[in-house]
Chains A and B, each alone.
Chain A
Amino acid sequence: MAIELLGGRVLSPYFGSSVYVWGSIITVFMLSLSLGYLWGGRLSSRNPNPVLYAMFFFAAALFCLPIIFLAETTMNGIFLWIEDPRYGSLMAALLLYFLPICLMGMVSPYSIRLLVRSEEHSGRTAGLLYFVSTLGSALGTLMTSFYFVLWFEIDQIMWGLISVLIFSGISVLLTYQLPGQTKPVEITAMQGDN
């Protein structure tokens, strides 16, 4: 959600802040998450392992880098290519945000697979995960829109979010080497997701 809010600011110098710019961003985020859920769920049914799970975080962090380094070039190209700011903003949002957000979406179903011990507890586990990840989203939204944009530049906030992703990935790897301590780390990880 923090990334989504910043997305509006990243796009506005090229496509304005009209309602359709937000439409583009929300559409792309929803689309990316939905496909991420689907693929993450599929991957989890084949040999689920924490190393791959940690890779989701590292890859998401990696794919956030173009938002910092390539956004200007990308949007400049699109601005020259597509005149209509509706489709321009949609294309820009797609190119910049699809991969990282898709990977973040993959985290959720994979977490459920790793955490669920029995069918009996599956609902409870999923509920806990939704709770943590949506609460993380709420916090991310609040902190970003109320405070972060007042204290930091957009790229500085992005670096912060990338660090959280990397930190989450590392925590996953470390924790799975010490058996019996899974849960707390999952929770940190899910907050990083959003």
Chain B
Amino acid sequence: MWIAMQEHVLKGEAARSLLFGTLLGIGLSIGMLPQAADAQSNIIHEERSMYRNIAVTEGNGRRCMLFNQHRGDRNQTCMDLADPKRLVFHYTRMSLAGLLLNPQPKNILIAGLGGGSIPVSMHELFPEAMIDVLEIDPAVVRVAERFFNFREGDRLDVHVVDARVFIKRAALQGRQYDYIMLDAFTGEYIPEHLLTREFLEEVSQLLTPDGVLVANTFSTSELYDHESVTYRAVFGSFYNFKLPVSGNRVIIARKGGVPSQAGLSSIARNLHEQLEPYGVPILEYPARLSTSADWDESKRVLTDQYSPGNLLN
């Protein structure tokens, strides 16, 4: 994708400076070979927000939202143009694995909008559920509405707010959710105040007794250990969900620990038909959940006093 961006930029430059363009063009065509499939992507929209540069690209039947693409960042979110229901990325599909613990959510909180694919699919799956979506960047909301078919509705509310602020206030107001998703990590800059024990305690106050927390987090770097230790400190044992094909790790937690894995397969069979249009292979998921600690348990818990997430990543 990054290569494709470069090419787009280069077209203009070559016109201005033939030599420069040609030289880079040679470098480009060499670098481009393995990425040939992405080569037809074009930028259809660019927007600079207070927090980041947002680009919308289209090609190979996909429309994608990218943050800070000039630094070579990965796609934030993509939509399959021919089949908009289908969730394109593993991690978005994986985040529906929380349904194994709560197959009928009624009050859903989602931190991080992106292209809106998760809120939209949850809204379609559970039209009766009330959904609150938190997104810090108003530009992301605009782009999601304009390019990714995202629509607010009676039961789907977007709040332009820092997730920590909303969650703290919601806890004070005694609000409760039975499905909470944390998906506020974009990869390039980590909101450190959303990694701490105090934050997770606030999140846990919002959870109903059988409510489930699904957090899309980091699977590499030292942060993996710190984060795992912190979630353990707040929620006790949780399901660690990783797939060999995905670089993401999804944490599935419940207040006071997760239930045994025994019943999950039958729940998965019940969900299977419902989730099939979204491309979620839910039947494969129960076997991938693990409660064992594959991280360094001696690492320090992240707190509001100590949270150098960006230095650890």
Contact = CB atoms under 8 A, between A and B. Distances in A.
Contact of A153 (B50, B162, B306, B311): B306
B50 A9 contact: no
A90 B109 CA distance: 28
B221 interface: no
Given A12-B192, A12-B193, A17 B162 contact: yes
15 contacts: A9-B192, A9-B304, A13-B168, A13-B196, A13-B198, A14-B164, A16-B136, A16-B165, A16-B193, A17-B162, A17-B192, A85-B161, A85-B165, A153-B306, A154-B306
A146 B193 CA distance: 17
Given A13-B198, A18-B136, A85-B162, A79 B168 contact: yes
A161 to B, nearest CB: 15
Contacts of A178: none
Interface in A5-29: 9, 12-19
Given A149-B311, A153-B305, A13 B193 contact: yes
B128 to A, nearest CB: 29
A16 B162 contact: yes
Nearest to B193: A12
A34 to B, nearest CB: 26
Given A153-B303, A153-B306, A19 B50 contact: yes
Contacts of B308: 149-150
The secondary structure that dominates the A interface is helix
Nearest to A21: B162
Q: How extensive is the interface on chain A, given as a class?
A: 20 to 34
Nearest to B300: A153
A14 B305 contact: no
Contact of A9 (B164, B169, B307): B307
A14 B199 CA distance: 10
Contacts of A18: 136, 162
A15 to B, nearest CB: 6
B295 interface: no
A146 B311 CA distance: 8
A17 B192 CA distance: 9
A119 B59 CA distance: 70
Interface in B164-204: 164-165, 168-169, 172, 191-193, 196, 198-199
Contact of A14 (B136, B168, B312): B168
A14 B169 CA distance: 9
Given A150-B308, A153-B303, A14 B165 contact: yes
